[in-house]
Structure 1
Amino acid sequence: MSLHDEPLQFRVLGTFEITRGNRRCTPTAPKQRALLALLALHANEFVATRRIVDQLWTRGAPRSAIAALHGYVTAVRRALTPGWNSSRNSHPILNTRPAGYVLCLEPHQLDLTRFRELAKRAQAEIAVGDCARAREAIAAALGLWRGAPLADLRETGVFDHDISRLEKEYLELLRNRFDVMLCHGDGHLAVRELEELCTDYPLRERFHEQLMLALCQADRRADALTAYARAYRELSSHAGIEPGPRLRAMHQVILSGDDPFDRGHRHLAGAVTRRSPAGR
């Protein structure tokens, strides 16, 4: 297989990258790079020309914006497919549609597509109680992340909404990962990371719950109660609210000396089925 026969690979879970084999194909021109990043985030979906213009020119598009966009499209098509010229009727992956464009990618060509497929698979395995398979899918999904999504394009402000959405998906997967670790009785291995996440995301109550569970698994019940007190302070100071019913219920279970992993309290422990490290 020649280099030109190898499929293009698009990566948005980190700095934006396009490669073909070992060759980088990412445009260096800022607007061309932003154009392809936008289309990659919405791969196989129609993206209207007006939407592209509005996102690429956030401070107001000039009258020449449409003409400039056509020039960017031609340039990136040539960068993606050496030898392609505008006299041809179509491009292999960047297709023109009435009043817009579609970037046509196979699932294996975009890290975001693979990430979402693996995250969905992990959620399905958790739902049926197969924590071992869920752990494999989660590890594979997290392995696709190379850093902050679109890290090199953050300063443009073009992708603020998309980046926020991707980070939310990442945190959701982390939440599932900790559920699986607790399922395997590995809460003691998650304590430090959960403490950091509770600091970075003080309003995400599920991380506080998981930290309390992890501390209980590590036979650190007093620390679990301290973690609740900290969560109470954080929620009150940052949002002016008290902990929600799940977190309060978890606190009461631990305070009473009950085991939160007992069958009667399992609704509080999510996917957790293990009782303690001794049960491993």
Structure 2
Amino acid sequence: MNTPGTEFRLLGPLEVHDTRTGRHLPVPGARQRALLAVLLVEADRTVSVERLAEELWGDRPPRSAPNAVQAHIARLRKLLPPPTPEPPPTPGTGIVTTPGGYLLRLADATTDAQRFCLLSAEGRAVAATEPDRAVTLLSSALALWRGPALADCRSGPICTAEADRLEEHRLITLEAFYEARLRSARPDGITGELERLTDEHPLRERFYDLLMVALHRTERRGEALAVYERARHRLMAELGVEPGPSLRGRREALLRHEASLSPVRLWPGSRSDEDPYPPPYAPHATAETDELTRIGEHLAVLTRQLQQLTTRFEALTTHHPTPPDNPDHSHEERTAGHCGPIRGTEPPARK
């Protein structure tokens, strides 16, 4: 297998793809796939045997776990190209044993997650000035998805957290894609697609917001106002909160009969041209940035789990509803400040 021709695919079931020959290299066994997935998520970082064992067997690994991990690593090494002996000018892709555990050296191999994130970042960066180009870039990013991220490797905490982060980034990219389409000369057919997205993600206010703009653009103001009422009903029923300032502002603009509505969402405390989600997988992250990223990632997962638990709790206690902490903030806006950046990034410094 030639290293520059290797792509690891995480945006769907795990695959190892030789782009030179077009062949898919099979990774047999659920535990071997999970092990490779963890090493890919933590590429170029040492992962301890204890963390690998937890990913494969949960919080009660067998006594033979270290030996079993070693055996799985040996099998994976037969699939992956062996690392180049040190000190080489350019080390190759491969699994390296370190004093603290194991490390997957990515070298010149690529992942579809990296390509997705870079295309998404590039598309979002030009959305305001070159919306047609942004549509093309964001469409290419979304086309890389073959199903839920790490669909067959989500039994452990590391892969579950990574899959959740990638899914959130996919939704962010979808939002940017439809915003760019509303800015561009290609808005046809957008209302039906946004209707479907509001049904699939009923608590995500941005899709309602974009749908209201799309309906207004086609002179369907009454339907746009009905979308707001539908969003309000769902948010109140599921979470006990009113729509946030952005969605309420859109409704007020419609009631004022404003002739033109911009699809841009103004985040509280941010400039209209500022991307609240900076490009992921930025190179040369410092040690402090790396630590902050890890903390942010854990907070993102905990936030998502809290949302799920809150919804379930309220469903079980319908006869004793709990009043919301602050009904003036949307579900997304109350949690946005707690969602960490995607791996390798931090928000741009304000001057």
Normalised TM-score (structure 1): 0.84
More helix by share: 1
TM-fit CA distance, 1:9: 1.7
Partner SS state of residue 17, structure 2: strand
Q: Deviations over 1:38-91 (max 9, x none)?
A: 11122233323222111111141111111111111111001223xx69xx8898
Matched, 1:56 2:56: yes
TM-fit CA distance, 1:236: 0.5
1:41 counterpart residue number: 41
Partner SS state of residue 152, structure 1: coil
| Larger deviation, residues 112-121 vs 6-15 | 6-15
Answer with 1 or 2: which has the greater Rg. 1
Are the aligned partners of 1:188 and 1:215 in contact in 2 as well (CA < 8 Å)? no
TM-fit CA distance, 1:25: 2.1
1:6-155 → structure 2 map (5 Å cutoff): 7-20=5-18, 21-81=21-81, 92-106=93-107, 109-126=110-127, 129-154=129-154
TM-fit CA distance, 1:92: 4.1
Q: Deviations over 1:88-130 (max 9, x none)?
A: 889842122221222222566210111111111112212x522
TM-fit CA distance, 1:203: 1.5
From the superposition, tell whether residues 268 and 251 of structure 1 become closer, same or farther in structure 2 (CA, over 3 Å): farther
TM-fit CA distance, 1:135: 1.7
Normalised TM-score (structure 2): 0.68
Q: Distance in 1 between matches of 2:224 and 2:147?
A: 31
Partner SS state of residue 44, structure 1: coil
Q: Distance in 2 between matches of 1:80 and 1:161?
A: 25
Q: Deviations over 1:243-279 (max 9, x none)?
A: 11111111011122112427xx9666978xxxxxxxx
Are the aligned partners of 1:178 and 1:190 in contact in 2 as well (CA < 8 Å)? yes
1:277 counterpart residue number: none
Q: Distance in 2 between matches of 1:102 and 1:256?
A: 59
Q: Give 5+ residue unaligned stretches, structure 1.
A: 272-280
Q: Give 5+ residue unaligned stretches, structure 2.
A: 274-351
1:187-202 → structure 2 map (5 Å cutoff): 187-202=187-202
1:225 counterpart residue number: 225
Are the aligned partners of 2:92 and 2:107 in contact in 1 as well (CA < 8 Å)? no
Q: Distance in 2 between matches of 1:147 and 1:170?
A: 11
